[in-house]
Each structure stands twice: as C-alpha cells, then as structure tokens.
Amino acid sequence: MSELTSKRCKPCEGGVDPLTLEQSQDLLKGLTDWQLTADGKQISHDFKFNNYYETMAFVNGVAWMTHLEDHHPDMEVGYNHCLITYTTHAINGLSENDFICAAKVDALLAPAETVSPTCEI
C-alpha cells in the first residue's frame, strides 16, 4: 500500500504553486492505474464493477473518505463504472492532496490483508 494512505489532506485555498509535471509523475507511481493528463493538471481512474450495487457501494465509500479528508473529486457514475477525477481547483492543478485521496480510493478496493493497520481513511 502506498505511503500516501498514511497522510492527511491539508487545506488548500490557493497561494501555492501546483505540482510540476515531474512531481506528479513521481507521485503517480504510488497509485494503481491512474492516468495523468498531458497538461499535468488532473489525475483520473475509471473504476469498473459488476453491477449498480457494487458501483454505488464504492461511490458511498469514496464520498465518506473524501468528506473526512475535505478534498472532493469529480465523479461520473454509471451502472457499472465510476470515473474519478482529482485536481485542486484553488491552484488550477495538482497538489499532494489529490494523490493522498487517490491512494485512499485505491485502498478502498484493496484486499483486506494488504491494507496497513495504520491506514486511516
């Protein structure tokens, strides 16, 4: 599991620079199957499920985690998929918060034995 899952989001109201493309590419290595846009301003992942119930259970888990972190993604929800996109709107680019939350989204789907006991969602 990524070390990002042990971190907490910090409030970001702007006034800081977004991550560079190189910084984002490095943090992306700690995630599973997330894509970085060519301009380096967003990361996204389209999660696939067997049915609507599984999709909605996942969406609810993401909603709860992001509420606790106070850092919310854009989500496009369909019958058997959920496209999650992270960016930090206040800085018009990516911050470490985006990668922390993306890692915690990955952790929601990880088999129980691979989740660190110190992983706080």
Domain contains 38: yes
In terms of residue numbers, what domain contains 59? Answer: 22-109
CATH number of the domain that 56 lies in?
Answer: 3.30.1360.20
Name the pTM for this structure: 0.88
- Residue for token pair 């199957």: 33
pLDDT tens, 62-116? Answer: 999 999 999 999 999 999 999 999 999 999 999 999 999 999 999 999 886 655 5
DSSP 8-class letter at 115: S
Domain contains 96: yes
Question: In total, how many domains does the chain have?
Answer: 1
Nearest to 85 by CA among 45, 58, 120, 57: 45
pLDDT tens, 69-82? Answer: 999 999 999 999 99
Domain contains 4: no
Domain contains 89: yes
| 3-class state of residue 68 by DSSP | helix
Whether 101 contacts 86, CB under 8 Å: yes
